Amino acid sequence: MTVLLEKDIRAAIAEAARRVRAETPMAPSITNTVTISFVANAQLAAGGSAAMVYLPDEGVAMTRAAGAFYINAGTFFPFYAEALPATARELHALGKPWVLDPVGIGIGNMRTDVLASFRKTPPTIVRCNASEIIALAGLWGLNTGSLVASRVKGVDSFDSIEDALPSAISVARYSRGTVAVSGATDLVTDGKTTVRCPGGSKRLSLVTGGGCSLGGVMAVYACVATPFVAALAATSLYNLASVRAAATTDGPGTFAARFLDELYKALPDEIAAQPFNVEECQ
């Protein structure tokens, strides 16, 4: 296995950020209704273009205009039983990158069935928290994970990043993609190289959609970069912008507004200079 070098990773992040600003890439979504507005606003602020749909034929149609796609499982509608698998199949057939946020995994039969179905057409990037990746690995029958062991309770995580690492690596290897686990320290792995990002403000967890919108911005970046670089660039951007927004605000309302401003203002070299540690996967 070849481990990526830190300087090459940083150069690729800066290049991805420059291309997003120059090309305004379109990353459509089927996403939840709670944070849909914040996802779109974050995608626009970060330099991309957004479009959200719900129906099966609309999801399939949008895969064509898409540089990459975002599927977020936060709120299910009855027609998602068809819309989400159909869109994933089309993305798989077209070879287009897509980001999955398996939020709420374990709640309801349809969500479980749909998330299980993605095993056949796996996402390019999974963006989630620690409990969710353990649950997803379990749902897909990868021996590192466990639907039972993980303590998914609603949408919050009750497992540590380090406990989630084996599941993150196994899902990344199975899907030949990247897994990004958000936490106090964020973890991004493609199954060969693991990067830990210690920065970011915990205030982002007081804003609904902090994680969902990160998945949307990863999809914007996945239009112009490899999944690994896209996930890491978006994570770095979020860590930078959240710290800056927290420094000038004293509560979650003005923080959220300021956070969008900082997504908009962050420079490619600043994004690429965020602290992270690179190591080879065991």
Q: Contact residues for a second copy (CB under 8 A)?
A: 26, 28, 32-38, 40-41, 44-45, 49-55, 57-58, 61-62, 65, 74-79, 104, 107-111, 153-156, 206-209, 249-265
Q: How far is the CB of 158 from a second copy (least distance, A)?
A: 11
Q: How far is the CB of 35 from a second copy (least distance, A)?
A: 6
Indicate the angle between helix axes 6-23 and 210-222, nearest 10 degrees.
90
**Closest to a second copy by CB, 69 or 228:** 69
**Closest to a second copy by CB, 174 or 264:** 264
Q: How far is the CB of 52 from a second copy (least distance, A)?
A: 5
**Closest to a second copy by CB, 74 or 138:** 74
**Closest to a second copy by CB, 56 or 166:** 56
**Closest to a second copy by CB, 107 or 281:** 107
Q: How far is the CB of 244 from a second copy (least distance, A)?
A: 11
Q: How far is the CB of 175 from a second copy (least distance, A)?
A: 26
The closest of 57, 56, 70 to 27, measured between CA atoms, is 70
**Closest to a second copy by CB, 6 or 54:** 54
Q: How far is the CB of 229 from a second copy (least distance, A)?
A: 24
